[in-house]
Amino acid sequence: MKVLKYYLSILLVFFTFNSCNVLDEDPFTQPSTENFYQNETDALAALTAAYARLKSGMGYYKQQFMPTLFASSDQGLSTYLYNEFKRGIVTSTNQSLNNLWKEIYLGIRDANNVIANVPDIEMDEELKNRIIGEAKFLRALHYFNLVRCFGEVPLRTTPVEAGDDQGLSVSSIVEIYDSIIDDLSYASLHCWGRNEARGNYSNDLGRATNTAAHALLAKVYTRIASCKRSASEGVIGNELYLEFPESYQSYYQYAKDECDYAISGQGFNLSSSLEDWMSIFDASNGNNSEMIFDVQGSSLSGQGTAVSNLFTPRNAGLSGSGFGGNNKLKPLFINNRIDKFDNRYQNSIITQYETTTRQFNINPWSTGYIPTNLETGNTLGTLWQVWTAKYIDTEATTEYTSRQNWHVIRLADVYLMRAEANAEIMMDPSAANTDVNILRARVGMQDIDYTSFSIENFREEIMRERAVELYMEGHRFFDLTRFGVYDEYCRFVYGDTDGARQAEDYTWPIPIIEVSTNSEID
């Protein structure tokens, strides 16, 4: 059961958006601080609205973010809506791009309002600091998504006031990351633990925890470290990361330290068996102990996610009507970038389903489905691509009634980041053995020994391990770019005819609507 509830009325009443340029929003569309931020109830309501922004509109975790990332990687095929991302030719006029940009900055706006106004409320200090900490976690998540997707972006950390100059210039990579790190450092100290209770209050499931803050900090430092390393080796797409003052090994050390904190966090544990691992993706098992931070699904009309419909076939009897099954894995990715004999892959794909006229079965070792006529039993056509079973919700009846959470950070990712960090710090791939094999052992896979691997070969193999453990969870695009292999890997899967990736494709262009209305952006 999702304990953290979202009150859409709060959004409608207090957080109306009317401006085309989200950086230049009219401050009078926001609630008056004199009339709203008066007490503890107001503070909690504003924070709830900030959480709800994660799945509002069409551009963020509710629908478009994951397919956009999916299409931008080498993992699979996506719908026509994301064709430019798939081909590596996304332009500033792309509507999905604009939707994503707008929704992220609206999320930043809502977080900024909480951070600026809650400190002046007379209320329990521990609760006040927790609310501010959670808002800073959300703001950090928003900016981390922005900087990973768009590179240098405008940095706004205070609410817009009447008379403010309209528009902001872009900030440097270092400035943006410094802000993210400051926010998460505060959150790691003031967010409460999983299910922690203090006084008359508890930290409900679905809220950011101190463990989540440490885990997200680990992802931040891991990205800085790997991007700076690949930039130092000549990857043009990551050259802005050369601005960071310390060595890439230093940032890996910071990442390792944060991983240590997150792994030791209260209330979070790895699954213990293959069956247990399979169950963590059940829609009815949301917020299980392996999920460090999830965007919450809901069976309530309009308040769920579209994740099930986005990644399961149409009329499959799995998640309502579906979107046609276009978000599916690419055979070349399966054959060359993951171990398709891995139990995690074999147990997280849809192996059989029926429509009203056809049955689809998959050979366990193939890369696609064989459609068969239900009446005659005759095989129809050639193999179809493979869909994931990670997001099935058999009770979803409409587009936005999926109970499935969006898994933003899970514990397995933290173990893999620590493995990578240990190997890079020591320049010894065998230092990754323990953490990688913990994940493999729990699903019945034999241990890997990286002792004889060069550091270059290790990087390829840790990407393969991340690809099979975390596939279709939204990490692949970011892994390709930070390792500096985005263009190479995508061209291998899609070919040059679908658009050759260039250095500028490591980030997306700022939407033309923002550029045209904000004179401070070149």
Per-residue model confidence as pLDDT tens digits over 81-115: 788 888 888 889 999 899 999 999 999 999 999 99
Mean pLDDT on 210-218: 98
SS3 assignment, position 24: helix
Per-residue pLDDT, averaged over 246-269, amounts to 96
Return the HEC string of 435-461.
HHHHHHHCCCCCCCCCCCCCHHHHHHH
User: For residue 19, what pLDDT is reported?
Assistant: 31
CA distances (Å), origin 154, targets 147, 219, 458: 10, 21, 36
Is there a contact between 308 and 319 (Cβ–Cβ < 8 Å)? yes
Domain chopping of the chain, boundaries: 8-60+87-269+510-517
> With bands split at pLDDT 50, 70 and 90, how would you rate the model's confidence at 437?
very high
Q: Which residues, in sequence order, are CB contacts of 452 under 8 Å at separation 6+? A: none
Alpha-carbon gap, residue 119 to 133, rounded angstroms: 11
* Higher per-residue confidence, 171 vs 199: 171
* Per-residue model confidence (pLDDT) at position 9: 31
Calculate the dihedral angle through the C-alpha atoms of 395, 307, 321, 352, rounding to the nearest 10 degrees: -80
Cα–Cα distances (Å) from 400 to 99, 207, 314, 320, 358, in that order, read 17, 21, 15, 10, 26
The average pLDDT across 327-336 equals: 83
Q: Which amino acid is at 426?
A: M
Q: Give 122-134 as a 3 state SS string.
A: CCCHHHHHHHHHH
Provide the whole-model pTM: 0.91
Q: What percent of the chain has pLDDT over 90?
A: 54
**Positive or negative: CA dihedral 299, 304, 309, 312:** negative
Least confident range from 139-143, 310-314, 422-426, 455-459: namely 310-314
The pLDDT value recorded for residue 217 is 98
From the list 509, 421, 504, the residue with the least C-alpha distance to 235 is: 504
Residue 36 is encoded by which pair of tokens? 């709203």
Tell me the average pLDDT across 370-389: 76
Helix pair angle (125-150, 95-117), 10° resolution: 160
- DSSP for residue 291: E
Give the position of tokens 């240098």: 152
Domain 8-60+87-269+510-517 class in CATH: mainly alpha
**pLDDT recorded at residue 127:** 95
Q: Are 420 and 458 in contact (CB under 8 A)?
A: no
Q: Tell me phi and psi for residue 489, to 5 degrees.
A: -70, -40
* Inter-residue contact 50 to 111 (CB < 8 Å): yes
